[in-house]
Amino acid sequence: MLGACNPVLASRALAAEPEIGALLPCNVVVRRSKGAGVTTIEAIDPQTMVQLSASPAVKEVADDAGSRCARHLPP
């Protein structure tokens, strides 16, 4: 498990809604399956924050974080 928090995005989300901190998508899991030799990279979809917040600013942060993740993680 890796910590991969973007401090600028986290700050924006917390400024918009302080209670959202526990839902910030800051962890990435990298695991390799036994035998199959397949490496899997997993991270929570930033849009999860939007489902629990009505704040337009949180949606903006989630959209930004989601596009950044999409550039680096396969679908």
- pLDDT (tens digit, 0 to 9) for every residue of the chain, 75 residues total? 888 888 999 999 999 999 998 888 888 888 888 887 888 888 888 888 888 888 999 999 999 998 988 887 766
Q: In terms of residue numbers, what domain contains 63?
A: 2-72
| pLDDT for the residue 75 | 66
Q: Is 35 exposed, middle or buried (0-12, 13-18, 19+ CB in 10 A)?
A: exposed
Tally of structural domains, the chain:
1
**Cα 56 from Cα 62, distance rounded (Å):** 10
Return the CATH number at 60: 3.30.310.70
